[in-house]
Structure 1
Amino acid sequence: MHAVTEAQHGLEELSRQYVELLADVSRTGRPLRRAELESLRLLGERSAEAGCGLRDVVSRCLGATRERWQALPGIAGAATLSELRRAGEAALAAADAALAAVGEGHERGQRLAVRQEEALRREFIDDLLYGRSDPGLLAERAERFGLRLASAHAVAVAVGDEPYDDVHPVVRRVERELVGRFGERDVLLASKDGRLVCVAPDSERAVLDFFAQLALGPGAGYRPARRVATGREHSGAGGVVRSYEEALGALDFADRLSLPAVLLRAEELLVFPVLMRDRAAMAELVRSVLGPLSGARGGAWPLLETITAQAESGYVNAEAARRLGLSVRTLSYRLARIKSLTGYDLADPLHRYTLETAAMGARLLGWPQRPL
């Protein structure tokens, strides 16, 4: 109610000042002064701040012109047709300059409002994804941006070969398609740290699926995302943070392990956080099982790749050799070296599991490139 009253008052003040200027100009024939134009710009800016649309502002001014035209001193007091023409031309020129000034001020006010809204939205997104605000206050702020944090939410994160920001073409494309299909309620799309983030309630899982589809295949002329990861559903404001961290963790594990998948789900990768929960124990496993590979000619890395390729190929030597770009004979030589250096044989099921786990840990820890 207060906002409506403020907007109405602003329109009335603008209309009054505008008509007074037209009246004076019609009588004197002078152009509008710089101070008068700036005053009109300020009124236009305030009308934008009060929520008045530019169409309403211009309509009010033109309506006042029609209503008062015959009563303008220069028009009403014209004794000859020439005087009437001069007064009319002066009034119309003033009206043109006045409306241009009002429009400039209105645009200025809108730009300021947009910047303020963007700042508030960015602050909210930071607090939401990092859990840096009181849950109750965060839930109240979330309503403003279309989220109801009382329900469970999940987060999807897309990463590309180039960083995303709010004006990136792919971001605009994804936003347009998501809003067109699902509307703005209970869906939040934002860029964060060069990634594209989508938050949706668990009841709208189709939103995240469609988001992933759009990010990975935005269409001709757009560069697709490199990967998309989705966290699990969790309740409350803290649930959004947890789901976001799970999605980021899935992306990190995928990069460190060079996983081929472009669509990742945190629930399918839970083994990796478990493996890395005790980092010291994993480092000890890698040292004790794979450490001897460092003594091989060419270092440990080629043999570590061999263990991984064997696991990924289902222990079919021909397929593993193809993946590594080797002959089957060379692959057999490498397998023999692994056995002789480590004492573990990939043909033995228990040894195989130990070597696979150690190799996975090595990739997660960055060994042998980084010392343990």
Structure 2
Amino acid sequence: MAVGGVPDGFLDGYPAILDEVSATGRRLRRAELDALREVGEHAAEMGQGLREIVGLYLGATHRVWGTLSGVAQAGSAAEVRRAGDAVLAATEAAVAAVGEGHGRAQRLLVRKEEAARREFIDDLLYGRSDLGRLAERAERFGLRLGLGYAVAVARGKEAYDDVHPVVRRIERGLTGRFGERDVLLATKDGRLVCIAPGSERAVFDAFAELALRPGPGYQMARRVAVGRRHSGTSGVVRSYEEALSALDLADRLELAAPVLRAAELLVFPVLMRDRAAMADLVRTVLGPLNNARGGAGPLLETIAVHADAGYVNAEAARRLGLGVRTLTYRLERIKMLTGYDPADALHRYTLETAAMGARLLGWPAQPL
């Protein structure tokens, strides 16, 4: 008979053991406990829940107790008590053994699932494995790669891993708002990765919000970058690489924005497509700044901050911690050394482009 949908075959001779225990008062043998652990493992592998299995065993105990013969039916009160104590002790040991085996199997299944998930994430983000097979595996993890997907990457002060409390918090937040379908959260190389349909901007906005402001006591991300939407499995790789490139650009250009979108940074790959030409521009336009007192660094910073401040002298001076008169003097020195006037629109564009190139190339710390 099945109890709660669980076949009574999982009892594996348990009623007969209880009948013997009630008559002899003995404890369960090691071999019996090992067999019960195997029953628990098998039940977990067959998809049976622990609650249902425990219910099956408790139900069997109840039935056996009602039909006990010998001591429990005709004996003295003391004998009945001893038989009852033996049965309860055996039931406790049996349920514990079944639960141990069930839990062991569940942990093994979880480890296998985690390993499969990790392998899938690696293959997906690096474009490994057969694309058709990868698309089939994606269905198992809630992704339909026929849709166009984008990838967001968050980087924190500390490395993220799969058991990091922030990861669990963000996962709960995203699942609660958007469900589990078509949204996948994972960690890779110490960074937090979110994969979702590129049309679902709300998902990436929520991911960035949760990563940057996870709540009191949780580690905040330093920056979040979002790649562009691309189709197919190769599109996920491309979007992931764009997000990583955006994080790298943000560091080299010292960008202040906490959230970056690859679509807004397309000018930089264009600028760096011809590295030799960019190096030549930096050497030609900014090279003379090396002749300034204190080297090129302070004047290069002045060019960059002046541009970031919209070429408003008072704001640029405030950001640099200088007086407006000192800023004006620096701008005059830049004009005198380079021949480019920050007040002239074309010259200004040349100086700003060269300053960006200098940051991307690491000049003047790195020789060109």
TM-score interval, normalised by the smaller of the two chains: over 0.9
What does residue 255 of structure 2 align with?
A: 259
Confirm or deny that 1:37 pairs with 2:33: yes
Residue 153 of structure 1 aligns to a residue whose secondary structure is strand
Confirm or deny that 1:197 pairs with 2:193: yes
What does residue 145 of structure 2 align with?
A: 149
The structure-2 alpha-carbon separation of the partners of 1:214 and 1:70, relative to structure 1 and needing over 3 Å to count, comes to: same
Residue ranges of structure 1 left out of the alignment (5+ in a row): none
What does residue 54 of structure 1 align with?
A: 50
> Which amino acid in 2 is paired with 1:346?
P
> Which of 289, 294, 305 pairs up with 2:290?
294
What does residue 324 of structure 2 align with?
A: 328
Q: How many angstroms apart in 2 are the aligned matches of 1:106 and 1:352? A: 71
Matches within 5 A, 1:230-249: 230-249=226-245
Alpha-carbon displacement from aligned partner over 1:67-119 (angstroms, at most 9, x marks no partner) = 23344455567544433332222111111111111111111111111111111
What does residue 17 of structure 2 align with?
A: 21
Matches within 5 A, 1:1-372: 12-72=8-68, 78-372=74-368
Contact conserved, 1:188 with 1:198, CA < 8 A, in 2? yes
Deviates more, 1:332-341 or 1:141-150: 332-341
The structure-2 alpha-carbon separation of the partners of 1:210 and 1:339, relative to structure 1 and needing over 3 Å to count, comes to: same
- TM (norm. structure 2) is 0.93
Q: How many angstroms apart in 1 are the aligned matches of 2:64 and 2:20? A: 13
Alpha-carbon displacement from aligned partner over 1:152-184 (angstroms, at most 9, x marks no partner) = 111111122222222222222211111111111
Contact conserved, 1:28 with 1:74, CA < 8 A, in 2? no
> Which amino acid in 1 is paired with 2:137?
R
Contact conserved, 1:14 with 1:40, CA < 8 A, in 2? no
Contact conserved, 2:18 with 2:64, CA < 8 A, in 1? no
Q: How many angstroms apart in 1 are the aligned matches of 2:321 and 2:241? A: 37
Deviates more, 1:207-216 or 1:297-306: 207-216
Q: How many angstroms apart in 2 are the aligned matches of 1:255 and 1:73? A: 80
Q: How many angstroms apart in 1 are the aligned matches of 2:56 and 2:271? A: 69
Q: How many angstroms apart in 2 are the aligned matches of 1:344 and 1:19? A: 95
Residue 163 of structure 1 aligns to a residue whose secondary structure is coil
Deviates more, 1:65-74 or 1:354-363: 65-74
> Which amino acid in 1 is paired with 2:263?
E
State the Cα RMSD in Å.
2.1
- TM (norm. structure 1) is 0.92
> Which amino acid in 2 is paired with 1:219?
G
Contact conserved, 1:156 with 1:208, CA < 8 A, in 2? yes
> Which amino acid in 1 is paired with 2:272?
M
Contact conserved, 1:69 with 1:75, CA < 8 A, in 2? no
Determine what percentage of the aligned residue pairs are the same residue. Answer: 72
After TM superposition, give the deviation of residue 206 of structure 1 in Å. 1.6
Alpha-carbon displacement from aligned partner over 1:30-70 (angstroms, at most 9, x marks no partner) = 11122322221222122112211100110111112222334
Residue 159 of structure 1 aligns to a residue whose secondary structure is strand
The structure-2 alpha-carbon separation of the partners of 1:75 and 1:44, relative to structure 1 and needing over 3 Å to count, comes to: farther
Deviates more, 1:197-206 or 1:229-238: 197-206
> Which amino acid in 2 is paired with 1:169?
P
Residue 156 of structure 1 aligns to a residue whose secondary structure is strand
After TM superposition, give the deviation of residue 369 of structure 1 in Å. 1.6
Contact conserved, 1:234 with 1:240, CA < 8 A, in 2? yes
After TM superposition, give the deviation of residue 202 of structure 1 in Å. 2.9
Alpha-carbon displacement from aligned partner over 1:201-230 (angstroms, at most 9, x marks no partner) = 134322112212222222333333221111
Alpha-carbon displacement from aligned partner over 1:226-248 (angstroms, at most 9, x marks no partner) = 21111111111111111111111
Q: How many angstroms apart in 1 are the aligned matches of 2:15 and 2:216? A: 53
Contact conserved, 1:131 with 1:241, CA < 8 A, in 2? yes
Contact conserved, 2:25 with 2:83, CA < 8 A, in 1? yes
